[in-house]
Chains A and B, each alone.
Chain A
Amino acid sequence: MAGEIIKVSGLVHRYGDFEAVRGISFAVEQGEVFSFLGPNGAGKSTAINVLTTLLRIQHGSARVAGFDVATEPARVRESIGIVFQEVTLDRDMTCWEILEFHGCLYRMPYGERRKRIEELLAVVELDAKRDTLTKHLSGGMKRRLEIARGLMTRPKVLFLDEPTIGLDPQTRRRMWDYIKAVNEEGTTIFLTTHYMDEADQLSDRISIIDHGQIIATGRGWDLKNRLAEDVIYLETSDNGRSKEIVGAMDGVTEVKEKTNGFVALVNQDGTHLLPRIMDEIRGQGIRIVTVNLKKPSMDDVFVHFTGRNLRDERAERPSAAIARAGRR
């Protein structure tokens, strides 16, 4: 049964006077991995909380797994799994108990529940920790346990709110593999992230969200292509003049200043255009110091669509993210 498994239109959510979600509409296809990519405070978690019925929907409409979140919240809850942004594990229960509790909450029959717990403990490699209290788990183990919990009931849609926040690169990669494997088994995945690479690697489609609004939606490569075919970076002995020269050339859509040089966004194959650009600059007696040609990254896409960097680089170093996740 293909089709739209999540359908949102005109969703608005206010906290008091503050509009956190400002009229978003989108649809997620059955079997897709769909991402909300956006900076802190963009409204990602708020949107997830509405879709998962934790917040009552205020304006607009939303259907999840065929049910209306406003009128059939119980049916929606039966069909979904959630991994919250913050850790939501009872510190004083064991891994096994966490999963057993969850299975019971969803009224899974005894045999199926016990079998599923064993499977999942193996999948997230927590077999050896089954009788360990969750307060004695590492951050990554907790996250894995929560993902396992989200998968207990084989939900139709799995919501993951920043699933890899605070994880080391290696564990993040393993998480991605789990998530992909789950998706291949047929679960639709809705995830939020502010990691470019995560959105890029994991999702079929991405919506860039900022200040409560969706700014662009599409496949990763599609968004990048919409921005540019290639990105060319140059440092020269006279950046000011070179910029003008390059900006006037055919195929160059935009030129942007950088600290020691500038970048040119080009809408044709950069491998052919770059030599011409270099000839042109040299022809004016300017020396070229550095050249670089690359495909646009999600970072470039984000800067392009929002007009700003995704995050304040200093505040969001991985160590800061870990500290934040640990503090919760």
Chain B
Amino acid sequence: MHFGFLTIYWRDMIRFVRFRTLLVSSLVQPALWMAFFGIAMSASFNRLTPDVPPIPGVPPIGYLTFMAAGVIAMTTLFTSLFGGMVLLFDKNWGLLREVMASPLPRDHVIFGIALSGMTKSFIQALIIMVFGMLLGAEFFRGYSAGQVAISVLGILLFVGIFSLGFLFLSAAIAISLESPEGMQGIMTLLTMPIFFASNALYPVNAFPPVLQAVSIGNPLTHLVNGIRYFAIGDRYQAIGVLYTTTPSGLLFSLSVLVVFGLAMFGLAWWRFQRAVVT
């Protein structure tokens, strides 16, 4: 067994710890989303929802709780998509050459970067969870300590697999490009549709059928499903819409993420085999 990827992991984490600004800035955005968008929108949604007859026997949840799960997912998406960017800098400013000239198998570079990206996503997800709850998101309502622990692990499982997929994608893009500017452009192009064609901030029922279909194929939707299942429950109503998640639905969401992750790993592996760094 070759643990070369741990070397790449170690090095990326050194940078992460050394440059805490990276962590802080990546947390500011979700904090702002929740503090402004979340609180503002929950005020308006909460004013609207009394007009919608509540579905009897289903616990209602506030908008902030609903969207906090989406914000965790969104942050994971952003962080993961940018996680491969370090490769681009390493490529242009040297370190990747040293790595490519070393006996380290190339897939270990992918694993190392993905693993450190996943670690960062875990840290962020946990911080946002706590921050959201401080702002008033009602996660884990009525759960016992044991249930909370299991739910947190469940959330991290979904966050982890999802982030691996997008980190692989990000690594594949970074190794294929020459400039950080180009990567920035592609990322913006990717994040917009992924983010808005998902159930992160609003229900998808009202979407036109085409968009609904897109959102079903969208990994972000499935990550949000997973987070809401574990953080809120399998049956609740929000913004007048009934949400139920069956165990098989949850399993389906997980499978979509796994399949996406494997496909993206394939893509990254292929790009790395052909990469020339001089």
Contact = CB atoms under 8 A, between A and B. Distances in A.
B94 A101 contact: no
Contacts of B10: 101, 104
B101 A53 contact: yes
Interface string A279-310: 00000000000000000000000000000000
A90 B90 contact: yes
A84 B97 contact: yes
B22 to A, nearest CB: 11
Contacts of A97: 11, 14
Interface string A64-93: 000000000010011000101011111111
Contacts of B276: 54-56
A128 interface: no
A52 interface: yes
A106 B104 CA distance: 7
B7 interface: yes
A90 B103 contact: no
Contacts of B11: 90, 93, 97, 101
B100 interface: yes
Contacts of A315: none
**Which DSSP category, helix, strand, loop or mixed, fits chain A's interface?**
loop
Contacts, number: 69
A67 to B, nearest CB: 12
Nearest to A78: B103
A54 B11 CA distance: 22
B10 to A, nearest CB: 7
A39 to B, nearest CB: 20
B95 A90 contact: yes
B144 interface: no
A105 B14 contact: no
B14 A93 contact: yes
B98 A105 contact: yes
A175 B4 CA distance: 31
B221 to A, nearest CB: 37
Most chain B beta carbons < 10 A, residue from A93, A105, A149 = A105
9 contacts: A77-B102, A84-B94, A86-B94, A90-B90, A90-B95, A92-B19, A97-B14, A106-B102, A149-B98
